Amino acid sequence: MLWLNTDAAVDQARQLTGLGFYLTDDQHQLQLKQSRQVAYCDNHHAEWQAAIWALNYLADHKLLTTNTLVLQTDSQLLVDGLDKRYSKHYGLELAQILALTDQCPLFFVKKIADRQNRAAHQLARAAIYQ
C-alpha cells in the first residue's frame, strides 16, 4: 500500500503557484518527495493539478497498477469530486485523475487536516520560492 499526500500553494501577490507531493509506504517510510512551480492559477485548480501531477508521476514509474493507493489531501473539493466521481467545475481535471486512479487495484481518497498535510504544503511553498 502506498500513501500519497499532495498539496498546492499560491502566492497571489507574486502570481506564483507551487505543487508538492510525497509518497510513503505502508510502514509510513518516506519513499519520494517532489515539488515544482507551475503557471499561476487559483488554489482550487492548483489542488487538482497537484493530484494530477503526482498520479502521472506514479503512473510513469509503474507504481499505480501494482499498488493499493491512498491519496490524502486537505482539499474538500478534490475529495468530494473523487468520492462522487463528479465535479461541476473541474470535470476535465476529474476525468484525468479518474483515468489514472482506475488503473489502481484499489484506490481511496482521504480528507486530512491542514496540519496533517504540512509536509506536502511545505514542498509546494518551497516550489514557489525556488
What CATH number is given to the structural domain containing 105? 3.30.420.10
Number of structural domains found in the chain: 1
CB-based contact 99:107 (threshold 8 Å): no
Summarize pLDDT for 4-41 with one digit per residue, the tens.
999 999 999 999 999 999 999 999 899 999 999 999 99
Structural domain that includes position 49:
2-128
What is the model's pTM? Answer: 0.96
Instruction: Give the long-range contacts of residues 78-81, CB within 8 A, separation 24 or more.
Output: 78/47, 78/48, 78/51, 78/109, 79/109, 79/110, 79/111
Higher local confidence (pLDDT), 124 or 129: 124
The yes-or-no verdict on residue 3 having pLDDT over 90 is yes
